[in-house]
Amino acid sequence: MKMSFLSRMMVVLGTVFLLFGGVAGVYAADGDLPLTIRVRGLGIFPDDDSDIVGGGKAAVDNSVGVEIDFTYFFQKHIAAELVLGVAQHNVELRDSDLDDLSGNPLLNDVDLGDVWLVPPTLLLQYHFMPEAKVRPYVGAGLNYSIFFEENAGTIVLDTGYDNAVGYAFQAGVDISITENFSFNIDLKKIYLETEADVTLPAGALGPGSAITKVKTDVDIDPILLGVGIAYHF
């Protein structure tokens, strides 16, 4: 059976996690390894804005997701973190003046379907109290968002999103549970803009209008609130 893009992505993420963990375990057997691995559940809250499309604006809904991160310490206070995750979002065109396929004005928001998002993020961190029980940190870096498996929704014929690079800022804390395990709370702000392509059916822009492809810039700019468990080698 042919695997979906999402299934292949989850296999890749799982393989990376197992390989990284296996290599880390070999090194850790000979001594301390300056590495932390975290698994988090995420709440994703876009602060979105877009160009005008059909009299309305594109809006991205709140969502939930999961992420895995690998943090390598160059020294006690300075570290680099690679974050891998996946989430799904629904997109709407709100307050539009488009017509439906029968030429009647749409009274409700237009469903633009949903899209999966993989946003790998690389951050440089500063850890304030690396040897304390409560260990706060801050970070800044870059995000690269990959959009895939777009579903066009009920009215439009097709939607597509350009992969995009954005800035990321972070604040979080690890709270020790045992020598190796910690409870983690992590907050990130990502400044992300993508270009969306929306293909409208004939008649959507008024009687007699042809099939039309519309491009619009969408600022997603999400806040990511993560809660999870950290393992320190």
pLDDT of residue 115: 87
pLDDT of residue 196: 81
pLDDT of residue 2: 40
Closest CA to 69 of 43, 28, 41, 30: 41
Q: Which domains does the chain have, with CATH numbers?
A: 33-232 (2.40.160.20)
pLDDT of residue 92: 77
pLDDT of residue 5: 45
pLDDT of residue 83: 95
Segments of the chain with pLDDT less than 70: 1-31, 51-56, 95-108, 154, 201-210
pTM for the whole structure: 0.77
- DSSP designation for 14: H
How many alpha carbons fall within 13 Å on the CB side of residue 187?
5
122: CB partners within 8 A, 6+ apart: 80, 81, 82, 83, 141, 142
